[in-house]
Amino acid sequence: MKEINLVEKFGYHVTNEALNAAGFYKVSETCGSLVIATYYNPETDEEDGIVGRDYDYDRSVDNDSIYNAPINEGVRKHWLHSNGAILAGDKVMVIKGRKVPKGTIHTVKAKKDVYDRYGRWQCEYLIFEDGLATNEANCIRVFDTEKIA
């Protein structure tokens, strides 16, 4: 993943349409008083954040084109995979555990957060299509060899 500076490349008043024409697509947006949109180019594997709105600074120039732009879900999935995330529908191989045999390959049906009795987050479980579940840290994502070849 390469970090680049889109403001230096396109200027402060860049629009979502200009970024899409250059191959950058909106994949994420932060919440709060400073809204930053993350743009990702799947061909060059480059990403950068652009300020869409700053509620605390009255003199800021809000970029409504960036702020109101929709998130591209197809590119977002590619961006999450390039950052190492496991998503629903991915094939994973179990590399550690007792309840699910090591070395088995499963398809992820859903992800579930696990909390302790005090409400503190503990881990994230992957629920497989056959009903088994294991910790996400016990699995690695595998690639379909037919699509690669």
3-state secondary structure 71-119: CCHHHHHHHHHHCCCCCCCCEEEECCCCCCCCCCEEEEEEEEEEECCCC
Based on the fold, state whether residues 56 and 96 are members of the same structural domain: no
Based on the fold, state whether residues 65 and 114 are members of the same structural domain: no
Domain count, the chain: 2
Confidence category of residue 148, pLDDT binned at 50, 70, 90? very low
CA pair distance 86, 23, nearest whole angstrom? 24
List, for residues 21-32, the tens digit of each pLDDT value. Answer: 889 999 999 888
pLDDT at 146: 47
Based on the fold, state whether residues 101 and 130 are members of the same structural domain: yes
